[in-house]
């Protein structure tokens, strides 16, 4: 069961340590891992198949696996018979606005906090964790009440504001860890040369921090783009987002179900594209950011 | 950094967090002691909401199911995540492809993943896994209306969704295990199993603890995935705590906001208890650094 790979040739090593020996992949482990990768992708592939079948065989039982002509009819239907385009615009607008605002608010805060000793990091991590693990409804239901009272319920603005706040502790914590790696001497040098604190941030820190800012940005964007619960509570029809739309299509007719699948694909493709382009940053954010914390 | 500068840097962000996180939380706590509806002033009713929740068998079932799911999923995530990370660590050229396809499962929007999963199992929608399992075991399992098959499906989905995070974290942790330590253990005659149990895992205690914590937190607030995966969650006892709150405090017709808020407060307490060992360590560390 246990793929004994990484440390495999444990018994052979005697004498001087080998010079960074090239790892030889254990074939059993490789096959198991390839299978695992297929399993991980399977739900996505299955949905992709279902939405490119003609509607009459898309959900046939037993499933029809061949002998049909793939079609993009479901996507066409989705586009023509629902308000999908609007929902997609809502989702994108909310994600972009909340990401930009989260960074504009978070960068100065993270910078200021990074210039304080290490225990600040620990406390920040604590706050980020506590707020990350809160039952979302504990903040979202009051937000619903407040947004109704203010007349901003079901607007992109209300949803974006909520997402900025919800993601703020995490963004600050991530950014702060990246800022902390930039030596303080750089600030001092810049300020001796006549920069103000804001000038230092703008001219020196932000350009140096580009990878860190990208990492935080990608995370916040992905969170916002796929957020379901908050959007479910804070939107109705006007600013409905794609994840909410997908679930409202479930339990309806088969063509509508297929449209949900098509919408799911269209929501997912940009996410996958971003995560592949930004894989380096995502992995860095997950590992470096959290481990060093 | 001068005080005024510090305030101007922190201020805007702090304002947003106080206004949109702290104040709503305070409101939730207030509501939990009130009989209240959206848009109206509530009347104070003491602990009634709490006693109502704690006396509600449906709430009991939701708590039981949520804790069960959390325990099983966390155990699986740690064990499987560790084994996969070890495997991936030994890979050569294949590594980025395996990691890339795992990343897809992680970044896939939660709702999308759950919908896809439900289709894999649903005989009404030409699912393929239910068919394969039926052929293999010779019996037809009711994946959506029978308690345990439904649980297995929910567990499988949750593990599928959260596994990549644990693999990536543990993989990062493995890079930090000093080579000398492994060499030393090897010279002392440790076999692979002993090496993992006594050398590598103890060195990565911190990261494994962190993965464990994040997984617990994520599973405790399971909500999105149940909408496609368990349409009759309440009836078959597979309702999560969050789902219970949603149903009572928001869904049309049942707006027991006070009750929902009381459950929210109770879950916050539960979460703080789970976080406690971690909080204690962090504060200790903070003191040491200060």
pLDDT digits 0-9 by tens, A52-99: 988 888 888 778 887 788 888 889 989 988 899 999 999 999 999 999
CATH 3.30.70.890 fits B64-240, yes or no: no
For residue B231, count CB atoms less than 10 angstroms from its CB and return exposed for 0-12, middle for 13-18, buried for 19 or more. Answer: middle
Chain A residues with CB under 8 Å of B271 CB are: 130, 133-135
Please give the C-alpha separations between residue B80 and each of A21, A78, A207, A217, A236, in angstroms, as whole numbers.
Answer: 27, 39, 40, 30, 40
Q: Going by C-beta distance under 8 Å and a sequence separation of 6 or more, which residues neighbour residue A11?
A: B191
Is there a contact between B90 and A8 (Cβ–Cβ < 8 Å)?
yes
Name residue, tokens 């000038």.
Answer: A199
- Comparing A206 with A128, which gets the higher pLDDT? A206
What is the value of pTM for the model shown?
0.87
Confidence at residue A287, expressed as pLDDT on a 0 to 100 scale: 62
Q: Do B98 and A169 touch (CB under 8 A)?
A: no
Confidence at residue A24, expressed as pLDDT on a 0 to 100 scale: 64
* Encoded tokens for A166: 């919800």
pLDDT digits 0-9 by tens, A260-274: 999 999 998 888 888
Q: What is the pLDDT along chain B (290 residues), one digit of tens a residue?
A: 677 788 888 889 989 999 999 999 999 999 999 998 888 888 899 899 999 999 999 999 999 999 999 999 999 999 999 999 999 988 878 888 888 888 888 888 888 899 998 999 988 887 888 888 888 888 888 889 888 999 999 999 999 999 998 998 888 888 878 888 888 888 888 888 888 888 888 888 888 888 888 899 889 989 989 999 998 888 898 999 999 999 999 886 667 899 999 999 999 998 888 878 877 877 777 777 66
Q: Do A250 and B228 touch (CB under 8 A)?
A: yes
Q: Do A247 and B10 touch (CB under 8 A)?
A: no
* Encoded tokens for B31: 């509501």
Q: Do B10 and A29 touch (CB under 8 A)?
A: no
Confidence at residue A208, expressed as pLDDT on a 0 to 100 scale: 85
d(CA B219, CA A290): 19
Q: Which of B237, B215, B58, B61 is nearest to B150 (CA)?
A: B237
Q: Which of A219, A165, A160 is nearest to B165 (CA)?
A: A219
Q: Do A276 and B100 touch (CB under 8 A)?
A: yes
* A178–chain B nearest CA distance, Å: 17
pLDDT digits 0-9 by tens, A102-147: 999 999 998 888 887 667 767 777 777 788 788 899 999 999 999 9
Q: Do B111 and A247 touch (CB under 8 A)?
A: yes
Q: Which of B192, B189, B202 is nearest to A26 (CA)?
A: B192
Q: Do B126 and A112 touch (CB under 8 A)?
A: no
- Comparing A66 with A100, which gets the higher pLDDT? A100
Q: What is the rounded (10 degree) CA torsion for A210, A215, A221, A222?
A: 160
Q: What proportion of chain A, given as a percentage, has pLDDT over 90?
A: 33
For chain B, the structural domain boundaries read 25-55+252-290, 64-240
A to B CB pairs, distance under 8 Å? 343
Chain A residues with CB under 8 Å of B164 CB are: 40
Chain A residues with CB under 8 Å of B10 CB are: 108-109, 112-113
Chain A residues with CB under 8 Å of B27 CB are: 142, 145-146
Confidence at residue A251, expressed as pLDDT on a 0 to 100 scale: 77
d(CA B70, CA B75): 8
Of B241, B267, B282, the CB nearest to A125: B282
d(CA B31, CA A180): 40
Residues written for chain A: 293
Confidence at residue A181, expressed as pLDDT on a 0 to 100 scale: 81
* A83–chain B nearest CA distance, Å: 18
The three-class DSSP label of residue B34 is: strand
The pLDDT confidence band at residue A151, using thresholds 50, 70 and 90, is very high
Q: DSSP labels for A199-243? A: HIIIIIIHHHTHHHHHHHHHHHHHHHHH--HHHHHH-SSTT--HH
Strand partners, B35: B43
Confidence at residue B281, expressed as pLDDT on a 0 to 100 scale: 77
Of A132, A162, A286, the CB nearest to B165: A286
Is the Cα dihedral B225, B230, B235, B238 positive or negative?
A: negative
Residue/partner pairs of A35-42 with CB below 8 Å, 24 or more apart: A36/B84, A36/B98, A36/B102, A37/B97, A37/B98, A37/B101, A37/B102, A38/B101, A39/B160, A40/B101, A40/B102, A40/B104, A40/B105, A40/B160, A40/B163, A40/B164, A41/B101, A41/B104, A41/B105, A42/B120
Confidence at residue A68, expressed as pLDDT on a 0 to 100 scale: 84
Chain B residues with CB under 8 Å of A137 CB are: 242, 245-246, 249-250, 260, 264
What are the φ and ψ backbone dihedral angles of A171, each rounded to 5 degrees? -60, -45
Q: Do B217 and A22 touch (CB under 8 A)?
A: no
Chain A residues with CB under 8 Å of B171 CB are: 287
Q: Is 60 exceeded by the pLDDT of residue A292?
A: no
Chain B residues with CB under 8 Å of A11 CB are: 191
How many Å is the Cα radius of gyration of chain B? Answer: 23
Q: Do A136 and B223 touch (CB under 8 A)?
A: yes
Q: Do B169 and A272 touch (CB under 8 A)?
A: no
ipTM over 0.90: no
């Amino acid at each position: 069961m246990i793929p004994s790979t990484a440390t495999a040739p444990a018994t052979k090593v005697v004498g001087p340590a080998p010079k960074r020996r090239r790892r030889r992949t254990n074939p059993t482990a490789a096959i198991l891992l390839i299978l695992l990768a297929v399993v991980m992708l399977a739900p996505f592939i299955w949905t992709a198949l279902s939405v490119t079948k003609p509607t009459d065989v898309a959900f046939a039982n037993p499933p029809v696996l061949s002998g049909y002509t793939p079609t993009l009819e479901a996507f066409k239907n989705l586009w023509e018979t629902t308000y999908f385009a609007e929902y997609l615009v809502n989702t994108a607008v909310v994600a972009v606005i909340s990401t930009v605002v989260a960074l504009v608010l978070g960068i100065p805060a993270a910078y200021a906090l990074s210039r304080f000793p290490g225990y600040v990091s620990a406390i920040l991590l604590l706050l980020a964790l506590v707020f990350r693990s809160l039952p979302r409804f504990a903040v979202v239901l009051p937000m619903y009440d407040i947004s109704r009272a203010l007349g901003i319920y079901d607007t992109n603005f209300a949803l974006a504001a909520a997402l900025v706040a919800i993601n703020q502790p995490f963004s600050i914590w991530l950014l702060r860890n990246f800022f902390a790696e930039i030596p303080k001497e750089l600030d001092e040098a810049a300020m001796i040369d006549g920069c103000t604190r804001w000038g230092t941030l703008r001219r020196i820190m932000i350009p140096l921090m580009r990878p860190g800012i990208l990492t935080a940005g990608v995370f916040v964007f992905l969170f916002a783009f796929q957020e379901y619960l908050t959007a479910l509570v804070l939107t109705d029809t006007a600013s409905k987002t794609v994840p909410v739309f997908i679930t409202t299509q479930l339990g309806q007719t088969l063509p509508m179900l297929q449209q949900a699948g098509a919408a799911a694909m269209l929501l997912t493709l940009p996410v996958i594209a971003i995560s592949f382009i930004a894989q380096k940053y995502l992995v860095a954010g997950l590992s470096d950011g959290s481990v060093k914390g | 950094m001068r005080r005024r500068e510090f305030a101007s840097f922190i201020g805007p962000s702090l304002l947003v967090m106080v206004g949109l996180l702290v104040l709503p939380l305070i409101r939730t706590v207030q509501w939990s002691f009130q009989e209240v509806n959206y848009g109206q002033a509530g009347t104070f009713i003491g602990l009634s909401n709490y006693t109502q929740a704690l006396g509600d068998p449906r709430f009991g079932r939701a708590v039981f199911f949520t804790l069960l799911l959390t325990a099983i999923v966390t155990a699986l995530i740690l064990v499987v995540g560790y084994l996969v990370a070890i495997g991936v660590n030994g890979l050569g050229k294949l590594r980025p492809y395996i990691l890339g396809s795992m990343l897809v499962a992680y970044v896939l929007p939660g709702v999308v993943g759950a919908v896809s999963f439900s289709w894999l199992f649903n005989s009404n929608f030409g699912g393929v896994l239910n068919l394969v399992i039926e052929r293999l075991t010779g019996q037809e399992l009711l994946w959506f209306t029978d308690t345990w098959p439904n649980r297995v499906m929910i567990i499988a989905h949750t593990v599928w969704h959260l596994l990549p995070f644990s693999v990536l974290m543990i993989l990062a942790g493995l890079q930090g295990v000093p080579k000398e330590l492994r060499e030393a253990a090897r010279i002392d005659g440790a076999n692979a199993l002993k090496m993992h149990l006594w050398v590598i895992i103890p060195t990565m205690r911190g990261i494994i603890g962190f993965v464990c914590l994040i997984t617990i937190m994520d599973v405790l607030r399971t909500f999105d995935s149940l909408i496609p995966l368990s349409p009759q969650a309440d009836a078959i006892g597979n309702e999560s705590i969050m789902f219970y709150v949603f149903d009572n405090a928001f869904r049309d017709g049942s707006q027991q906001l006070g009750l929902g808020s009381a459950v929210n407060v109770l879950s916050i307490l539960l979460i703080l208890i789970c976080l406690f060992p971690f909080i204690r360590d962090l504060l200790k560390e903070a003191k040491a650094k200060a």
